[in-house]
Amino acid sequence: MKRVPPRPPLKSGLDTVGPFHPYLAYAAVLLVDLAGLALGLFLLIWIGDVAEDLLWPGGTEWVDF
């Protein structure tokens, strides 16, 4: 099997990530990180709301789920 020669780095000095520009790969990683952070915060708020409803039922709801 013949080996494919490596691609030269871009003018900025960054290596390509497959066929994609490095900034596109960084943006995808950032998007996944932000989605994970949003999911974690949502779960934390939801668990807190459930616990609050169990401990102190009734009253004014600040978070409606």
pLDDT tens digits, 19-62: 899 999 999 999 999 999 999 999 999 999 999 999 988 888 88
Range of the domain at 24: 12-55
Could you give the C-alpha distances from 32 to 5, 22, 39, 48, in angstroms and in order? Answer: 31, 16, 11, 24
The whole-model pTM stands at 0.73
Q: Do the domain assignments include residue 37?
A: yes
Q: Do the domain assignments include residue 61?
A: no
Higher pLDDT, 63 or 65: 63
* pLDDT of 17 strictly over 90: no
One-letter-per-residue 3-state SS of 15-59:
CCECCECHHHHHHHHHHHHHHHHHHHHHHHHHHHHHHHHHHCCCC
Q: Do the domain assignments include residue 51?
A: yes
Q: Do the domain assignments include residue 4?
A: no
